[in-house]
Amino acid sequence: GCRTEKRSVWMLEADIRSAKKSQWSRGGGGRCSGDITLNMKLRYALIFLTALAIVTFHHVQKEFFGPRLETMVIYENYYANERDPEVGCQFPILHPFDESILPHVKIAKPIRCFARNKILTMIDTTGCLTFNKSGLADGGYDVDSPPSCYFQEIVRAPQSDFKVIYSSPTLMSGCDRLQSDFVFVECYNFAGISIYQNYHASVQRNQSVRKFKNDVELSVAVIGLDSMSRLNFMRQLPLSYRYITEVLEGVVLLGFNKVGENTYPNLVP
């Protein structure tokens, strides 16, 4: 009889606890759950508004406070008054920063190249393939005892515009005279593992094309870029344009236009 009575009391207490738990879920517990849901919504709304403000600020400062293309180049129309009035066909001389073109021109972001290794090799002003002492020092190498580096000269395959030929690897001596305009360099550590690769390009004098009288004599260099117009070259590469026209005193061929589908017919019409 005592056991039955104790069991009944225990079941009654369990029912009371269950009822209180159910009441908490319907009452205070429900309010707490609702508060959590409201806080999450406010948090998401705050994140959205913050992201929207950042994007808006980025575009506003880019549009109104960014550098203007027309201020990057000092353009003077030197050729406007040099036209021959007797010539019937007069091509237009357009301003590179005319109002009609500015909405379609954008400033390209600078290309940043992140190299894991320092530049260990270079071609000096005399056309000699040699070691870059500053690069060796920055990379932690001994300047007087550089790593073992081999180079391969690259030439175009005969009767082909798409294939090249690599010469046999040659150990760098410190000043190697090249016969081709392009060379591939690869260096190895003491274990024979490749630690450095690079390509170099330089213009080598080809005696078979024309024999020069001395080292001072130079021929005329013709620079042609058929991938962009002259006006866009002035907009996007202002420093190069000013260097060619002012420092090198280059002559700009104003009436030279694209006539072919690739580089050769455009540069040699």
Residues 128 and 253 in one domain: no
- Assess if residue 125 is contained within a domain: yes
Model confidence band, residue 24 (pLDDT cutoffs 50, 70, 90): very low
What ranges in 144-269 are assigned the alpha helix state H? Answer: 230-236, 238-242, 263-267
- Structural domain total, the chain: 2
Supply the angle between the helices 28-64 and 2-26 in degrees, to the nearest 10: 30
Q: In this model, does residue 192 exceed pLDDT 80? A: yes
> Quick one: 201 and 224 in the same domain?
no
Residues 165 and 224 in one domain: no
Are 126 and 259 found together in one domain?
A: no
Residue 31, domain member (yes or no): no
Q: Residue 29: is its pLDDT beyond 70?
A: no
More confident residue, 113 or 250: 250
Any domain includes 18:
no
Q: Is residue 138 part of a domain?
A: yes
Residues 128 and 258 placed together within one structural domain of the fold: no
The secondary structure of 35-97, three-state, reads: HHHHHHHHHHHHHHHHHHHHHHHHHHHHHHCCCCHHHCCCCCCCCCCCCCCCCCCCCCCCCCC
The confidence score (pLDDT) of residue 183 equals 95
* Cα distance between residue 243 and residue 248, in whole Å: 6
pLDDT of residue 63: 60
In a domain, 30, yes or no: no
Of 182, 206, 230, the position where a domain reaches its end is: 206
Tell me, yes or no, whether 42 lies in a domain. no
Span of 35-39, 197-201, 231-235 with lowest mean pLDDT: 35-39
Three-class DSSP category at 107: coil
Specify the higher pLDDT residue, 119 or 80. 119
Q: Which helix (H) or strand (E) holds 25?
A: helix 2-26
Please, what sign has the CA dihedral across residues 50, 52, 53, 59? Answer: positive
Residue 74, beta-bridge partner list? none
Are 201 and 129 in the same domain? yes
pLDDT tens column, 70-101: 555 555 655 555 666 776 777 777 788 878 88
Q: Is 170 exposed, middle or buried, given 0-12, 13-18 or 19+ CB atoms closer than 10 A?
A: middle
Do 133 and 197 lie in a common domain? yes
Query: What's the confidence (pLDDT) of residue 201?
Result: 92
Ranked by mean pLDDT, the top range of 18-32, 167-181, 194-208 is: 167-181
Question: Do 194 and 229 lie in a common domain?
Answer: no
pLDDT at position 134 over 50 = yes
Q: Which domain holds residue 252?
A: 73-81+91-112+218-268
Residue 157: predicted pLDDT: 92
Mean pLDDT score across all residues of the chain: 77
Domain assignment of residue 28, yes or no: no
- What is the CB neighbour count within 10 angstroms for residue 225? 14
In a domain, 243, yes or no: yes
Statement to judge: residues 227 and 256 lie in one domain: yes
Instruction: Indicate if 125 and 190 belong to the same structural domain.
Output: yes
